[in-house]
Amino acid sequence: MPTCSRCDRLVDSQAVSCPHCGNQLKAFGHPGITLHQATDTTYLCDRCTYHEDDSCNFPQRPYAKTCTLFHDKSLPLVDESQFSPPKYGGIRGFQFWLSTNRGLVIIALIVIISVLVAVT
Ligand code: SF4
Ligand SMILES: [Zn+2]
């Protein structure tokens, strides 16, 4: 459960504003748009990927105190585990291999059946 950046108390992850201090937690009143907030003494841009790679053109850069696009530069931009195949072993691994190589298996079966028919 996340904490409010102003009062540091636990808040619901879907809360649009902090029920304790009223701090705005989501942008445009939408629970799906997180409004990242800096502490009193820092700016978000100092820790942002898009400031570091110079791709941000927001007018509040480099002194953003709140931002919807902030991405912590210490974290990977894309979760690479989403793109790597799951590690299965045994029968589940074989089933996964069959499901991902279905075309190859069908061609191999056709070749094998053709050879058997030609030989007999
Ligand atoms: S995306 Fe937001 S936090 Fe990041 S550099 Fe731009 S204004 Fe700053
Ligand atoms: Zn709060």
What per-residue confidence (pLDDT) applies to 6?
86
Three-state DSSP state, 86: coil
What per-residue confidence (pLDDT) applies to 92?
85
What per-residue confidence (pLDDT) applies to 70?
95
Q: Which of 37, 44, 54, 73 to mutate to test the pocket of ligand 1 (most atoms within 8 A of CB)?
A: 44
Q: Which of 49, 61, 63 to mutate to test the pocket of ligand 1 (most atoms within 8 A of CB)?
A: 61
What per-residue confidence (pLDDT) applies to 69?
95
Query: Which stretches of the chain drop beneath a pLDDT of 50?
Result: none
What per-residue confidence (pLDDT) applies to 27?
92
CA 1, 39, 48, 61 dihedral sign is positive
Which single residue is written with the structure tokens 């108390």? 9
Q: What helix, strand, coil percent values describe the chain, rounded to 5?
A: 35, 10, 55
What per-residue confidence (pLDDT) applies to 109?
95
